A and B are shown apart, each in its own frame.
Chain A
Amino acid sequence: MRAQRILKVVSGVVGIVVTFGLFVVPFIFIALTAVKSRAEAGLLEFSLPREGYFFMENLTQVIEAREFMLVRAFWNSTVLTAASVALMVIAGAMIAFVLQRRKSRWTGLINALVLAGLIIPPAVVPTIWVMQGLGLFKTLHGLIFIEVAFGIAFCILLFRAFIATIPRELDEAAVIDGAGPIRLFFQVIFPLLRSVIFTVVILQSIFVFNDFQNPLYFLPGDQNATVQLTLFNFQSQFLTAFNLLFMNILIITIPMLVLFLFFNKRIVEGMTAGAVKG
Chain B
Amino acid sequence: MWFLIPGAVIYLVLFIFPTIASLFFSLTRWTLFDAQFIGLDNYTQFFSERFLVQGLYNTVFYAFFTSGTKVVLGMLLALWLTGRVFGQGYLRAVIFFPVLVSTIGVGITFKVLMDPFDGLINGSLTVFGVEGPLWLADPDTALLSIALVDLWKGVGIATVIYIAGLSAIPQEYNEAATVDGASGFRRFKEITFPLLMPATSTVIILSLIGGLRSFDLIWAMTKGGPGFASDVMASMIFKQYQAGFYGLSTAGNVVLFVLVAVIIYPLSRYLNKKTVEL
Nearest chain-B residue to A273 (Cβ)?
Answer: B164
**B interface: dominant SS:** helix
Give 1 or 0 for each of A234-278: 1 = CB within 8 Å of chain B CB. 010000001001100100110011011000100110011001101
Nearest Cβ on chain B to A202's Cβ, whole angstroms? 10
Residues of A within 8 A of B185 (CB): none
What is the interface residue range for chain A against chain B?
35 or more
Is B110 an interface residue when CB atoms closer than 8 A count as contact?
Answer: yes
Query: Contacts A121-B234, A260-B97 given: A129-B21 contact, CB under 8 Å?
Result: yes
Nearest Cβ on chain A to B119's Cβ, whole angstroms? 6
Among A30, A98, A104, A127, which residue has its beta carbon within 8 angstroms of that of B14? A127
Whether A91 pairs with B18 at a CB distance below 8 angstroms is no
Query: Contacts A15-B80, A91-B7, A126-B18 given: A252-B237 contact, CB under 8 Å?
Result: no
Residues of B within 8 A of A130 (CB): 13-14, 17-18, 21
Among A46, A152, A267, A271, which residue has its beta carbon within 8 angstroms of that of B10? A152
Is B256 an interface residue when CB atoms closer than 8 A count as contact?
Answer: yes
Residue in A26, A30, A118, A242 whose Cβ sees the most chain B Cβ within 10 Å: A26
Query: Contacts A19-B95, A43-B118 given: A119-B4 contact, CB under 8 Å?
Result: no
Residues of A within 8 A of B179 (CB): none
Residues of A within 8 A of B92 (CB): 268
Is A170 an interface residue when CB atoms closer than 8 A count as contact?
Answer: no
Q: Given the complex of chains A and B, what is the CA–CA distance between A227 and B102 in angstroms?
A: 10
Q: Given the complex of chains A and B, what is the CA–CA distance between A112 and B180 in angstroms?
A: 46
Residues of B within 8 A of A15 (CB): 80, 85, 87, 91
Among A134, A253, A271, which residue has its beta carbon within 8 angstroms of that of B102? A253
Residues of B within 8 A of A129 (CB): 18, 21, 25, 32
Is B190 an interface residue when CB atoms closer than 8 A count as contact?
Answer: no
Residues of B within 8 A of A9 (CB): 86
Is B130 an interface residue when CB atoms closer than 8 A count as contact?
Answer: no
A-B contact count (CB 8 A): 245
**A interface: dominant SS:** helix
Residues of A within 8 A of B22 (CB): 123, 125-126
Give 1 or 0 for each of A124-153: 1 = CB within 8 Å of chain B CB. 111111111010000000000110111011
Residues of A within 8 A of B72 (CB): none
Residue in B85, B98, B163, B254 whose Cβ sees the most chain A Cβ within 10 Å: B85
Among A94, A126, A252, which residue has its beta carbon within 8 angstroms of that of B3? A94
Q: Given the complex of chains A and B, what is the CA–CA distance between A145 and B15 in angstroms?
A: 10
Q: Given the complex of chains A and B, what is the CA–CA distance between A117 and B82 in angstroms?
A: 33
Besides A121-B212, A228-B104, 9 more A-B contacts (Cβ < 8 Å) are: A8-B86, A11-B86, A23-B98, A26-B109, A44-B115, A126-B22, A149-B10, A150-B15, A272-B163
A-B contact pairs, 15 of them (CB 8 A): A15-B91, A20-B94, A33-B112, A44-B112, A117-B11, A119-B261, A123-B257, A125-B30, A125-B241, A125-B249, A129-B21, A206-B100, A213-B234, A231-B102, A268-B160
